[in-house]
Amino acid sequence: MSNPPPSSGASGPTLRVKTPRFAHHNVAFSPFFEDKIATASGANFGLVGNGRLHILQMGPGGLQVVKWFDTQDCVYDVAWNECHENQVIAGCGNGSLKLFDTTLNDFPIKAWHEHSAEIMSVDWSNIQKDTFASSSWDHTVKIWRLSRVTSMATIPAHQGQAYAAQWSPRQSDTIATCGQDGFLHVFDLRAQEMRPMSSVKVSETDLLSCDWNKYDSLLATGGKDSTITIWDTRQMARPVGQLGGHALAVRKVAWSPHHRDVIASTSYDMTCRTWNTSTRSERRVHHDHTEFTMGCAWALFERDLIADCSWDEEVHVYRA
C-alpha cells in the first residue's frame, strides 16, 4: 500500500468512500494485495433490486472504487479466492454463487446455484484453499470445491435461516455455523452423518454471526440480543466471556488476525466497536455511520487496520 493510513482518533475514519444507490452488507480485504478490498452490496438496502460487487483500492488518492460487477440480486457476502489473487466470489439473494475475475469485465467466470433462498455468508478455507462454504436462509450450509460444478456436501444446519458458516483456521475439516434458531454448531465434515460434534443454545433470538479466534480454541458469537459471547470449543457448556455495549443487534463479529484478545463487532446501532477480551473493555467505538453498520474485516498486512461498511452506502477504513 503506497500510503498506509496513519493512526486516527475517535473523530472519524482515515479513509472513506461512498457508493451511491448501493448499501453495503459485508467487506473483505484481499489475502494477496494489501490495498484491495471487496464489498457485498445491494440497491434499496438489499430488499429489492440489483446487487453489486465493488472492488476498492487504497492509495495516494484515498479509498476509491476501481471496479464493480452487477448482479441480478443483492450481494450479501463476498470472499476472496485463497488460491487465485484476482478472483472473488459473491453470495447472492437468489441463492446463487458467482465467481468473478477482477481483471475481466461484466460476467462471472463461474456460477453455482443450489440454494433455494438468500445466501447470507460465504467463507473460503485458508487451509483447503480450493474449498469454500456458503450458508443460506434455506436452513442449509453447503460445501463447495472450485473444480466441481455441484456442491460436495449439504448440511441441514439449522431450524431456520443459517446466517453464517466459518471455517476453523486450524482444522481443515471443521466448520462453525449459527442461525435463526439461536444455536451455535461445530461440525466435523469427516463424520458420516452431518450432525454437529458440539452445539450450544446461545440465545432465544437470532444468532447472526460467529467467528473463530485465530490463536486459541475460541469462538465468538453475536446476534439479535446485542451481546457478544465467547466460547471455548473444548467445553461449550457455558461461555468463557461476554461483551455488552451495543444498543441493538450485533450483525458481525471478527477476531483480529494480529491479537489473540482483540475482536471487532458491528451493529444495527450504527457503530463498529473493537474490544479487548482479556479486560472485557472497549478499545474504540467508531460511530461515523448514519445507518446500520453491517460488516467489518481486519486487514491481513496492516496491524490494527479495519474496514467497516454500512447501509449508508459508505465503507470506512481506519485504525482500531
- Closest Cα to residue 144, out of 112, 101, 173, 176? 112
In angstroms, rounded to a whole number, what is the distance separating the alpha carbons of residues 152 and 131? 9
Asked whether residue 8 is domain-assigned, the answer is no
Asked whether residue 6 is domain-assigned, the answer is no
Residue 114: in which H helix or E strand, if any? none
Asked whether residue 293 is domain-assigned, the answer is yes
In angstroms, rounded to a whole number, what is the distance separating the alpha carbons of residues 133 and 186? 14
Could you read off the pLDDT of 53-80 as tens digits, one per residue? 999 999 999 999 999 999 999 999 999 9
Asked whether residue 1 is domain-assigned, the answer is no
Give yes or no for residue 186 having a pLDDT over 60: yes
Q: How confident is the model at residue 49 (pLDDT cuts 50, 70, 90)?
A: confident
Quote the number of domains for the chain.
1
Give yes or no for residue 184 having a pLDDT over 90: yes
Asked whether residue 10 is domain-assigned, the answer is no
The pLDDT of residue 9: 41
Whether residue 133 contacts residue 142, with contact meaning beta carbons closer than 8 Å, is answered with: yes
Tell me how crowded residue 237 is: count the other CB atoms within 10 A of its CB.
8
Q: What is the pTM of this model?
A: 0.94
Quote the percentage of the chain above a pLDDT of 90. Answer: 92
Q: How confident is the model at residue 13 (pLDDT cuts 50, 70, 90)?
A: low
Asked whether residue 150 is domain-assigned, the answer is yes
Asked whether residue 121 is domain-assigned, the answer is yes
Q: Which three cell numbers stand for residue 101?
A: 475475475
Q: What is the CATH number of the domain that holds 300?
A: 2.130.10.10
Could you read off the pLDDT of 193-224 as tens digits, one per residue? 889 999 999 999 999 999 999 999 999 999 99
Q: Beta partners for 282?
A: 275
In angstroms, rounded to a whole number, what is the distance separating the alpha carbons of residues 123 and 54? 17
Residue 84: give the domain boundaries.
15-319
Asked whether residue 167 is domain-assigned, the answer is yes
Among the listed ranges 40-49, 112-121, 165-174, which one has the minimum average pLDDT value? Answer: 40-49
